[in-house]
Amino acid sequence: MSIEKARRRSPMLEVLGIRNFRLLWIGQGTSLVGDYFNFIALPWLVLQLTGSALALGTVLALEGVPRALFTLLGGAITDRVSPRTIMLISDIVRFFLCGLLVALVLTGTVNLWALYAIGLAFGLVGGFFQPAAGAVMPTLVGPVELQAANALYQGSSQMLGFVGPMLAGAVIAVFGTASVVMSAPGSLGVAVAFGVDALSFLVSVFTLWLMSVPAPVRLQTQQRAENVLESIRDGIAFVWKDPILRMLFIVIAALNMLFVGPIDVGIPVLARLRLPEGVAAYGIIIAAYAGGNLIGTILSGMIPPRKRFKAFTIALLFAFGLALAPFGWVPSAWVGFTIFFVLGIGNGYFSIILITLLQRRTPPALMGRMMSLLVLSNVGLVPISQAASGLVINASLDALFVGAGGLILIVAVWATLSPTLELLVAEVETTAAASRGQTGTTLSASPSE
């Protein structure tokens, strides 16, 4: 009795006792830290080589395009092949790509065309890795542990997202006055950052290799007679026929189109040209958003959505537009930190609620493809956004932020006036009420067990 109660009170500790989950948690957490080093170092390297925001937007877009194009294919293949195997192969390839980047920087032979090619390769691999990473958890833990496993995994990712960018910015800044061979000043810091990313992939490969996933779990869904293209079509048709899911995916895609590009391209340029903290400002602002998302994720488990969820949803959409529009005039990194920290809290809370809604409305047989569609809605338009941001910055940095913020406000108005928003809010509130009812029933039943 007491043992049973203890287990129910510490589900995350119980999940950490599962060897396969523990290996995934350690390996992917380490890899995520490395990703943030790459995320900060790559834009800084492009700006060192060219000084061009257009070049930066092009490099980021060339990485995003193949990732978007191959995400649906990656999701369909994930439904047929072990997610662990796809992740393992992907991380081996990315380890060698990062190693190549380190070699090019250290020898002073890096150039824009090399970054284009490596970016394309990273994007191609990412198109397969991301759906597999989204689908791997159910193969490692049981249905009872799944919620706790996802909460621990996502919470840890958000925490690392808060620490990683600041750590990366600090490392590059520490080595900012050093150079190697014929490279630009500060190239040693960039090389170190890429080296950290390479080592993180090696850790991920090692932990994935140590996993022992039984064949029945790895092949838990039967391979369907239809081909891959038909599988992709079925997933898209399911979303389009559901008005709530259709609106959800449209809003996610629009916000990522209008928000991610200005952040990925605009903030590095803003930090380089206007903010006194330089590259450290870039890391500080990105870390603030991740830290806010962490707080929001925690709050989503403590404060379920209630009758004011519609007002919260509308306020959050307008907040993104109103915060981004004047961002070009931010005087310091810490003002930007405050703005993005608050936005992150709202986004973290909102994202968990919507992901839960998506999972509840999706049949298990379509979950892999639904994850690939979610990834696509998050990244599909980002390459266009990044390239467009680079073009707009050439005319005016302020115009980039004002234009993107204004368009987000238009999306907010459309969502506010859409009748489907009422359906979405009602679904969320009904789900939250049902969850509270289930929780109460479980607690009241415990003493009699």
Between residues 150 and 172, the one the model is more confident about: 172
Q: Where are the alpha helices (DSSP H) in 211-276?
A: 215-218, 228-241, 243-261, 267-273
Which residue type does 30 have?
T
Task: Express each pLDDT in 63-103 by its tens digit.
Answer: 877 887 888 888 878 777 778 889 999 999 999 999 999 99
Q: Say how far apart CA 259 and CA 62 lie, in whole Å.
A: 18
CA angle 311, 317, 321 (to 5 degrees): 135
Indicate the pTM of the whole model: 0.67
* Two structure tokens written together for 102: 């380190």
Task: Express each pLDDT in 93-138 by its tens digit.
Answer: 999 999 999 999 888 888 889 999 998 999 999 888 988 887 777 7
Work out the pLDDT band at 182, boundaries 50, 70, 90. Answer: very low
Q: Are 305 and 257 in contact (CB under 8 A)?
A: no
Q: Are 261 and 404 in contact (CB under 8 A)?
A: yes
Task: Express each pLDDT in 378-409 by its tens digit.
Answer: 777 777 888 888 889 888 889 999 999 999 99
Does residue 15 carry a pLDDT above 50?
A: yes
Superfamily of domain 2-217+228-444 in the CATH hierarchy: MFS general substrate transporter like domains (1.20.1250.20)
Q: Are 305 and 353 in contact (CB under 8 A)?
A: yes
pLDDT of residue 427: 80
Work out the pLDDT band at 179, boundaries 50, 70, 90. Answer: low
Percent pLDDT > 90 in the chain is 23
Helix count and strand count (H, E) for the chain: 20, 0
Work out the pLDDT band at 432, boundaries 50, 70, 90. Answer: low
Scanning the structure block, which residue is given the tokens 């039943």? 445
Q: Of 32, 17, 26, which is closest to residue 208 (Cα–Cα)? A: 26
